Amino acid sequence: MTNIRTFRIYLPGLGLIASALFLCACTTTTPPQSFNVVKNPNVDAAFVAADADFSQYDKLLARDMGIFFPTHAAPSLDDQKRTRQIFREAFIGELGGYVIVRDEEPGALEVQATLIDYRNASGADVPGVRRELRDIARPGVIMFLMELKDPDSGRTLARAADSASAPAFSTSADTETDWVAVEAAASRWAELFRNFLDENLQQ
């Protein structure tokens, strides 16, 4: 059973990613939300809104995956396209049993996965991501982000991050993308996303 406790002010020991993830969750909604820290050994950090009610959702509004690289060290457009396809296939393969929709409709929970690879980034690259992700898009970090939102209000209901996998992407003509590692990372993160959904929607 998932262990949840209330996050009040500061939680020592979760590290930089967890602190930034919580700050991101708290500063992107109006009015401010209260979040619970979810103890999950499979991810670096996870938070669920204290007033989240997932019982009202019976389908998923799947948003396109966001992928962010620093502009000076991004893979080719072809490599990025192939990466998106690999992740898309991995995620679709893990979402069996859920009703997936592409447009907003009653009972749909917005879900989105985001890959931020800023291992070769500088502070100048951070504004290139969505505003609500700038607190966690830190130079030197690769992160997979899972988000669950209410599409009507835009409120973040749950967010989790993982940085255990670090596939190598081609950043110049002298390097090649490790597609075996990309597929392994996609498989791992798709499984994590499915588990994250199940933990919140099948309570």
The pTM assigned to this predicted structure is: 0.73
User: For residue 5, which phi and psi values (nearest 5 degrees)?
Assistant: -140, 155
pLDDT for residue 37 is more than 60: yes
Query: Running DSSP on this structure, what letter comes out for residue 18?
Result: H
Residue identified by tokens 């498989």 is 187
Identity (one letter) of the amino acid at 70?
P
d(CA 192, CA 190) in angstroms, rounded, equals 5
Greater pLDDT, 170 or 30 = 170
Query: Running DSSP on this structure, what letter comes out for residue 82?
Result: H
d(CA 117, CA 142) in angstroms, rounded, equals 4
What residue spans define the domains of the chain? 3-201
Q: What is the pLDDT of residue 126?
A: 66
pLDDT for residue 9 is more than 70: no
pLDDT tens-place string over residues 152-196: 998 999 988 888 788 999 988 888 999 999 999 999 999 999 988
CATH architecture of 3-201: 3-Layer(aba) Sandwich (3.40)
